[in-house]
Amino acid sequence: MAGRKWGEHGKMHESMTPYFEKCAELVQQYADVIEQRYARPALVLGIKNFRKKPITMTFVAILSSLAILPILSFVGISIFVIASIIFIAAASAIIACVVAESIIVSIGICTLCSLVLVAVFSTIFFLSVYSVFRFILLVRSNGRSGFSEWAIETRQYLLPTRPVEECEKPGGPNVAIQHWLSDYSQTDDQGDE
């Protein structure tokens, strides 16, 4: 396995080598252009000016070397401040989005919970109203026997009966428990046979 990793690494290295070489050549070309167009002419001009005006150019050189640190500090601090402002703005926007979404989700959850409560109470209310009207109708049409009919009917609606299978074994109990088997367990039983 280690050999395979080295082989893949070697292939990757071989494929990356020409790309790296092209990038190095490009950087070298840009460095040559900067040197030929800007650096050498500036050096020649500086040497020429030092010969013509030595005191003025000495002052400019000392001032430039002393001013480079404050200028770089200013640029660095400015970049840091701008980056900090951008970061704080992005972080604030993300936090605002999270807070707004949390509020919206909380309102949605509260709405759904209250709808569940309304549905539960409405169901209980309508079942009670139906049961009372059914009781009144049965007692009115059947008299006292209507009460027992209403009790049986209500019990059947509220407590549904379970299907019961009889056991096929001779002498076994009259009630058998129905087991639900998944397709997986049935294929295991068939595969064992």
Q: What is the pLDDT of residues 45-81, one digit of tens each?
A: 888 988 999 898 889 889 988 999 999 999 999 999 9
Cβ atoms within 10 A of the Cβ of 150, count?
19
- Report whether 132 contacts 124 (CB < 8 A): no
pLDDT in the model for residue 20: 84
pLDDT in the model for residue 179: 47
* 66 compared with 9, residue with greater pLDDT: 66
101-158 pLDDT, tens per residue? Answer: 999 999 999 999 999 999 999 999 999 999 999 999 999 998 888 888 888 888 888 8
Question: Does 7 have pLDDT greater than 70?
Answer: no
Rounded CA gap, 158 and 177, in Å? 22
pTM: 0.43
CB under 8 Å to 49, separation ≥6 — which residues?
56, 57
Least confident of 36-40, 90-94, 153-157, 169-173: 169-173
**Torsion, CA 46, CA 48, CA 52, CA 56, rounded to 10:** 0
* Residue reference for tokens 């088997």: 181
Residues of the chain with pLDDT > 70: what percent? Answer: 76
Phi, psi of 165 (to 5 degrees): -105, 140
Q: What is the DSSP string of 112-176?
A: HHHHHHHHHHHHHHHHHHHHHHHHHHHHHHHTTHHHHHHHHHHHHHHSPPPP-B---STT--S-B
Rounded CA gap, 36 and 41, in Å? 7
- Report whether 85 contacts 93 (CB < 8 A): no
Integer CA distances (angstroms), 119 to 58, 129, 147, 184, in order: 91, 15, 29, 38
- Report whether 46 contacts 57 (CB < 8 A): yes
